[in-house]
Structure 1
Amino acid sequence: MSSEQMQIGEVAARTELSLRTIRHYEDAGLVTPSARSQGGFRLYTEADVARLMVIRRMKPFGFTLDEMRALLHATDRLDSGTELPPEEREDLLERIRGFEQAAQQRVEDLRTQLTRAEEFAATLAERLTGTPVS
């Protein structure tokens, strides 16, 4: 096995995704092992790991599998090395801008939720200790 290829266990460790989750993303068409070993084991490359990291980063934002697929398709087309017609390139960039804006909005929503959660935890701590928590 080439040093640039790794089995699913190593990929799982590097991405902090379970084997089951990686297989699920494979079944959903989001990632495809780059090769198979003679024994039939999935073999992944650094590019596959990078793709899984994009998926992992999208998950907490609540993006659907279809949305993940759409973003990955756009980035795959832009990264393909193929000369794209200007209108297609702009369309792909606009799609990515839409995902970036959605991610920024979700970051703000999460910050609000975190502030509320911290306030709630502080209220509980104050109740338990009888002293205000700052």
Structure 2
Amino acid sequence: MDDRHMQIGEVATRTELSLRTIRHYEETGLVTPSARSQGGFRLYTETDVARLMVIRRMKPLGFTLDQMRDLLDATDRLDAGDGLDGDERKVLLERVRAYEQAATEQVGKLRVQLARAEDFAATLRGRLHPIPAP
């Protein structure tokens, strides 16, 4: 990945997260800036941005901060791969698989909610533009 460092404002723009939200994720240990500038500003890399995007995608699916932390821990350990024996790798993959299944279930629920919302909007449009009487 790119070693270029970005300040928090650029990261906020790229991730569509507020500065406050990014700082909150830092305070809760979900993301840690890769470096600090001489002036003490947080500096992030593409890897940090990718991590924030995972968090951003989990949030609307109802995952808690602890679940986000757990998934990120599992994926970090799988990505590092150092010293993982077969059993440990299998356990980590099962953790990731459980999150994938939970995400898929939540997406299904959201699709149902969206269909209901679209139906409701169509009903309201129908009331605004009634069919003329014969």
Scaled to the shorter chain, the TM-score interval is over 0.9
Shift of 1:100: 0.3
CA distance in 1, matches of 2:81, 2:88: 14
Shift of 1:64: 0.2
Partner amino acid for 1:112?
A: V
The 5 A counterparts of 1:75-90 are: 75-90=75-90
Shift of 1:91: 0.4
- The answer for the alignment partner of 2:26 in structure 1 is 26
The 5 A counterparts of 1:39-50 are: 39-50=39-50
Residues 53-95 of structure 1 show CA distances to partners (whole Å, capped at 9, x for unaligned) of 0000001001000000000000000011403011110000000
Which 4+ stretches in 1 moved above 3 angstroms? none
Normalising by structure 2, we get a TM-score of: 0.94
- SS at 2:43's partner residue? strand
- The answer for the alignment partner of 1:38 in structure 2 is 38
Unaligned runs of 5+ in 1: none
Query: RMSD of the alignment, in Å?
Result: 1.2
- The answer for the alignment partner of 2:91 in structure 1 is 91
Residues 72-128 of structure 1 show CA distances to partners (whole Å, capped at 9, x for unaligned) of 000000011403011110000000000000000011000000000000000011011
- The answer for the alignment partner of 1:71 in structure 2 is 71
Unaligned runs of 5+ in 2: none
- The answer for the alignment partner of 1:105 in structure 2 is 105
- The answer for the alignment partner of 2:8 in structure 1 is 8
Query: What count of residue pairs does the alignment treat as equivalent?
Result: 130
Shift of 1:4: 0.3
CA distance in 2, matches of 1:103, 1:13: 25
- Describe the shift of the 1:9–1:34 C-alpha distance in structure 2 as closer, same or farther (beyond 3 A): same
Normalising by structure 1, we get a TM-score of: 0.94
- SS at 1:32's partner residue? coil
Identity among equivalent positions (%) equals: 73
